[in-house]
Amino acid sequence: MSLPEVLLWQQLRGQACERWRKQHPAGPYVLDFYCDAARLCVEVDGEMHARGNAPVADARRDAWLLAQGVVTLRVPAAEVLNNLEGVLVGIGEAVAERRRKINGA
């Protein structure tokens, strides 16, 4: 795991309200972080995700996951390093929104 992934994992694994998995297999992919209760994948994207064929590959992956009922939240690695608290707030909001949708509320 990269430094931003390690920092984020240290925070996610301590959350009592959600169970997060790291490096979770999903079909042909490995998800950085996955919360089954919210059917949410969090991907920490470094610079390489903006280069070459990576954007196309990421879009293909996100579409495949969505077809399986899993939403992907992409977080820039720089944002994790510079604003971890804000990233955690955004993830918490995404989890709450997904759980509302899953529970029909």
Q: What is the CATH number of the domain that holds 12?
A: 3.40.960.10
Overall domain count for the chain:
1
Q: pLDDT tens digits for 31-40?
A: 999 999 999 9
Q: Which domain holds residue 91?
A: 3-102
pTM given for the model: 0.90
- The DSSP code sequence of 62-99 is HHHHHHTT-EEEEEEHHHHHH-HHHHHHHHHHHHHHHH
- Determine the average pLDDT of the residues in 48-76: 92
pLDDT for the residue numbered 52: 79
Lowest mean pLDDT among 13-22, 25-34, 37-46, 53-62: 13-22
